[in-house]
Structure 1
């Protein structure tokens, strides 16, 4: 590499680092004009649009999530930062417009039914526009029947489907098989599909990418169209679902949450003094556990459930709530679901993972669990 190239790369990284610092300061303060100025300054100084999207905005958004998980950023401030980033991206379309579409194929970008985290999909849509694709961005939470009707009308070359939450994997599976049945290939991405893409392969997606740049590279090479035909049955891809445990757990979801909450109040007397708001938040936490348990049953992936429990334990301890408080909830679910062997095995592995992590000292944090 020449000295000129090295200097240029170093200058670019310095420019992007300066933009990241300025954008972080702006979104931390909820200052949208300052956030816009930070991004526009980087563009005006010569930073490539794709680099600003991914090395500045996406990087700061990742830091926002990390700060929330560590208890140093409130939910409201996290939502505000995301909203600022969305508006800054929209403003970039006027400040640094994408070139006219080239020969690259048309791509529809959408979030899975029930997936409200649209920023990763929006970042991909903008990267694709700047690489010459015609992009149809549908945003968050696109119900599969409406998605199929739209694709019949628009006939894109590819659907890029995004999901951040593993609990949306059953809905993603439905969308993947339905879209392929009308002859359109599906590229998937987002944290829901695993850092290694294992859930993308499991659900039969045509391609997977770990990030927006890799997704754009995949789409730039093109994807072959699947042969149109009848949608596959779920058990064709996931024969373990033949035991019906996923279906039965989801059917009893409300009762499972209710009974687990009641059992927790018996096991943890301090809960009897909870306010209505505290009790509601606890019920929401239990519902999240049930949803991840169901997703692990759907995919037959222990790690999906245990990783969620360990992450939840870290979040709780950042708010000065011991992670061991999760175990009574799992014990109550074990009693409720005693007739489901695969579910019991998952719960046992989750409890074992939590016992292993409980040997670590608590992580200090500024707020209690019920101040979230």
Structure 2
């Protein structure tokens, strides 16, 4: 009943409307699996990393699009000359190079066709030549769904390479009740210090519409705090493309905190469907001994999400802070992002098997040799 077709790069760039319609009928992430995010990623890193597009579209008998697997292939050679082919999902470049991070990775499937579509995609990939498939920062449901279908269709072994954690705050309830769940010190930083900031320090928050200037300010704060910019030149280009492409169901929410006329904090959020994603933040670290600007700024945006009946989650995403996993203090739901490798190559299967019998000191040598 279903047909799988590999689409070309020109088709990818012209697929915005079809992609958006399918995404609206799916449970895939409305930001990270959207056309603006993934096509912008591909435009920046596709050629630079010498990647081969493998965008698989699934159609029903009436030629209606019911699923997309936004994949690409990369090739590498081991030190003794073996050539291997690794498949990835567009948005992450695991072991290839630094790019922006794409989370909640999955296929995009019409809810009515999900099981059949994943089966059809697995059958198609069974007929393709490849050695490994990487689902980086995937949803746990994708690993349980498509991952198990892949294992059923062909002889692959599954290896969980890492697992990251993020925090998503449920904003469907009461803001006051959420504040009451916070620890005393966190509540002070998130909310109670507003009186000092807005009073004696003359602070206020406002929206920011100049994307170019905003990214520059964000990078400047990160250089001061971390010794390097938040976004390198490629990442800046990606975010410029993304912000220019956001559609009707997505909206950038850039905000700044000012003390007098000076910008002291910036927050980069995007609203997609019923969720706010906190992509990045930057602030003046040594601003005031009683105020944590980053936490205070997040407090304003989280309260906005609670007040907006269209929003049911404020997502802090994966990653930790400079010194601690500060996101856990916001009393949200823990979200796990496994990175899973499906190995098809007999050579790589043997390499993985041999690692279990080697002294620990030799395991890293095997990893480097096979680029595991």
Q: Same fold (TM over 0.5)?
A: no
Asked which structure has the greater RCO (Cα within 8 Å, sep 6+), the reply is 2
Give the structure-2-normalised TM-score: 0.27
> Which structure dedicates a bigger proportion of its chain to helix?
1
TM-score, length basis structure 1: 0.27
Which protein is richer in strand relative to its size? 2
